[in-house]
Amino acid sequence: MAIVLAQSSAKAQSRLIDRSGTVSFYSSAPMEDIEATNNSALGIVEIPSGKAAVSILIKGFKFEKALMQEHFNENYMESDKYPKATFSGQIADPSMLAKLGSFQTEIQGQMTLHGVTKDLTMLCQFNVSEKEITVKSTFNLVVADYDIEIPKLVRNNIAKEVEVTANFKFQRND
């Protein structure tokens, strides 16, 4: 019995969770720049395997203008039908998580957005300290790749690609 408890405790310590990660996106367009931030993204990193996962509620993105947020959720993302975006991947060099300091490495995985799953590789900046691991990544997503339809009336005023920035801070449990 004690062995089983010790094993489950060791497994729990190898999974770091951030429930308040920040994911934002920015789109530069002729008519108006569009940006929004979600401060409640769920991120998980498993050590030493290097598996990583993110889950984001689409309705959690906050815009400067309420009307923009409404259009985003109803017309583009259809957030009632597709309530979240997810990413599941593998850190290319998970051994770096055991060393203190800063490093860059790729995470390869799959992004599911608007009901469409695509392979995605992103370069991430890791800062590893005794108390926490922070992760930052900036990457681009092509709107059409995820079957997000832009009405013809505004098609020329909205960028075809958005810049996504993700920040997570994982507190160490050991």
What is the model's pLDDT at position 159?
Answer: 81
Domains of the chain as residue ranges with CATH: 2-171 (2.40.128.110)
Asked if pLDDT for residue 174 goes beyond 70, the answer is no
pLDDT at 25 (0 to 100): 96
| SS3 readout for the chain | CHHHHHHHHHHHHCEEEEEEEEEEEEECCCCCCEEEEEEEEEEEEECCCCEEEEEEEHHHCEECCHHHHHHHHHHHCCCCCCCEEEEEEEECCHHHHHCCEEEEEEEEEEEEECCEEEEEEEEEEEEECCCEEEEEEEEEEEHHHHCCCCCHHHHHHCCCEEEEEEEEEEECCC
What average pLDDT does range 134-140 have in this prediction? 98
Q: Is the pLDDT score of 2 beyond 50? A: no
Which pLDDT belongs to residue 151? 74
Q: What is the pLDDT of residues 67-122, one digit of tens each?
A: 989 989 998 999 999 999 999 999 999 999 999 999 999 999 999 999 999 999 99
